Structure 1
């Protein structure tokens, strides 16, 4: 399905923020790794969450759910043998489950269901780390399909690169407490998205797992023979998805409130509130509610994008209409997502009329407060974050834009367009042209 986004002058209303996808996937995995029954309250409903639920079911977890909760009876350190696992287009789910599948005694293959998206993403760094732990793996140049031959992973001294993604480290942090040996994990080179590792460590602590982390998050000591504790988890509101709604409110005349966004959240994308504030967007953040009274006027700034990776595209969209030149630096890891979120995204912004340029690890936006022309069809590149961010631009364009394959927004935020429509946005689904 395609989405027609028509320029919209005003947004107004209140929304309950989407539940956090990142926390939901981590809680699902922690619950599956426990022996006993856990409950997850207010889980996110997204394609990523569906992929994680499907995989843990295939591995032997019993999963029951209703509108408000998911109840899981876990498999502990003994997942059920399975021939194939399908993670859909969910990179984090692939990487997390890849380590857990190393516990299987028999061969398992991760299939390539999205060759044009996840199928192009590299996973070499995690594969190399698992191979060093005695796991035999066949792969396609670090990409799907990936087959684990079965065996018993060993703890000990483990090295993993963090220069492409922090998800490789998170994956090992979920696995190593279950091993017989103690483990020491050293992160090589750089560590992208350190704030997301904070979320992983928080979930592990809640699950009763002990991990000693250095202050710089580059070294870890993980005692072996630990057990995940079955318990109840409550999922907080999601900043990455909310970033696009906040950006939409910022670029329009608006009076918008988003609830369930904790001020002290460990989600790095919480920083988008500070970014918008630095761009002189009128807003307050109190008692878990962000209140934006947008007037469409913003000023440019310079921001370290590694602090709010999944909010960068939405903030770039807002800066398209800011006075001056904005710079988002330290964002190279955006190139290794569902698409190249620098080159591919900026190509679509240019089609809409934005003045943007790229460097290897930077996005530079020369703002156009007068707005952009629009009136074009643009490619979503099967990427939910690209879809949400391009919608923000369409709300402020002179002419409507058509976003192809916009249904892929469901990967993280199925209700995104419903929520925007509830605020008054002029958005309409149309069938793809054959």
Structure 2
């Protein structure tokens, strides 16, 4: 399904932020790794979280759910021997479960999205697992991947963090269940440290002890631990809300988004500060962000590694800012569902934006007068690209058509319904 986005001058209304995908997937995983029954309140419903639900069920977890909660009876350190696991297009789910799969004699992760997840590399995690005595069969670091484990070893473990922090998080979920104590050292660089903070927060809530260095590059993890079954409450999601806030910023608006905690460990919380620094009129208090946009923004320079999943939405806002904006330290965007630098900027140019790229930077020469639009855009099956291009379409002079926009369901299934509730002119077409 494609989406026609028609220029919309005014947005107004009050919505609840969707629940956090990142926290939902982590809570589902620790609930599965616990022996006993856990409850997850206000879980996210998206393709990613649904993929993890499906996979942990295949591994032996018992799941019951209603409109407000999921109840999970976990399998602990003894997952059921599933022959195959299908994670769909969910990279984080794949990487988290690759380590869990090391507890099994053999399991194959199939490749159902060869043009997206199938292109993404996982070599750094594969190398770490192999050093732990796990046999991994793979296609140059890509899917399909077969894990042959059974008894992974702890001890000294090294993993690169230069491509993704998900590899480290994956090992942190596994290490507490091993017989030996583990020392994990991160090599090179560590991208998205704030997301590692979310993993550590969830592990602590699950009763797991991890000793992390201040710079998050070294970890001591005692073995023979048990995950504690308990109740978790999922907070509102900043990465998805970033696009809604950007849409409000570039239009004449009075938009309120609720359930966005000021003290959240989500790095994308920084998008509120980014918009504020671009002189967008907004307030943030008591978990409520209110944007009273006037469409006037000023350019700025921002470290994108602090809010990785909010960068594309902020770039979309910067398209209409006065001056030149620079988003640096963003190379890891190249290793997502698509190359979120080259591919995304190519589509922005089609719509009339003046943007340029470097290896680890996005540079936006703002056009406060707006962009032409009137084009068909390829979102490369990427939910973040879809959401961000919608922001541009709202401020374009002519409608844009976003191909395969239904892939927004990967993280935010009701994104367009929320925009419609705020007054945006968006329409599904076949």
How does the TM-score come out when normalised to structure 1?
A: 0.99
Paired position in structure 2 for 1:129: 128
Shift of 1:149: 1.8
Paired position in structure 1 for 2:333: 334
Secondary structure, counterpart of 2:377 in structure 1: strand
- Distance in 1, matches of 2:278 and 2:249, equals 10
Paired position in structure 2 for 1:302: 301
Alignment of 1:380-395 (within 5 A): 380-395=379-394
Alignment of 1:122-201 (within 5 A): 122-201=121-200
Paired position in structure 2 for 1:362: 361
Shift of 1:151: 2.4
Shift of 1:37: 0.2
- Distance in 1, matches of 2:23 and 2:265, equals 10
Q: Deviations over 1:201-246 (max 9, x none)?
A: 0000000000000000000000000000000000000000000000
Secondary structure, counterpart of 1:202 in structure 2: helix
Q: Deviations over 1:31-71 (max 9, x none)?
A: 00000000000000000000000000000000111110000
Alignment of 1:282-293 (within 5 A): 282-293=281-292
- Distance in 1, matches of 2:337 and 2:95, equals 14
Alignment of 1:5-404 (within 5 A): 5-104=5-104, 106-404=105-403
- Distance in 1, matches of 2:66 and 2:381, equals 29
Q: Deviations over 1:3-49 (max 9, x none)?
A: 00000010000000010000000000000000000000000000000
Q: Deviations over 1:372-414 (max 9, x none)?
A: 0000000010000000000000000000000000000000000
Secondary structure, counterpart of 2:249 in structure 1: helix
Runs of at least 4 residues off by over 4 Å: none
Structure 2: stretches of 5+ with no match in the other structure: none
Q: Deviations over 1:109-152 (max 9, x none)?
A: 00000000000000000000000000001000000000012321
- Distance in 2, matches of 1:385 and 1:63, equals 29
- Distance in 2, matches of 1:107 and 1:294, equals 54
- Distance in 1, matches of 2:192 and 2:162, equals 10
Q: Deviations over 1:287-319 (max 9, x none)?
A: 000000000000000000000000000000000
- Distance in 1, matches of 2:312 and 2:63, equals 34
- Distance in 1, matches of 2:319 and 2:171, equals 39
Secondary structure, counterpart of 2:269 in structure 1: helix
- Distance in 2, matches of 1:225 and 1:125, equals 25
- Distance in 2, matches of 1:180 and 1:151, equals 12
Q: Is the 2:133–2:149 Cα contact (8 Å) retained in structure 1?
A: no
- Distance in 2, matches of 1:308 and 1:66, equals 32
Shift of 1:426: 0.1
Structure 1: stretches of 5+ with no match in the other structure: none
- Distance in 1, matches of 2:285 and 2:62, equals 39
Alignment of 1:395-434 (within 5 A): 395-431=394-430
Shift of 1:87: 0.2
- Distance in 2, matches of 1:151 and 1:270, equals 39
- Distance in 2, matches of 1:148 and 1:160, equals 17
- Distance in 2, matches of 1:56 and 1:148, equals 16
- Distance in 2, matches of 1:389 and 1:412, equals 13
Number of matched pairs:
430
- Distance in 1, matches of 2:395 and 2:190, equals 36
- Distance in 2, matches of 1:287 and 1:108, equals 46
Shift of 1:107: 1.4
- Distance in 1, matches of 2:387 and 2:225, equals 40
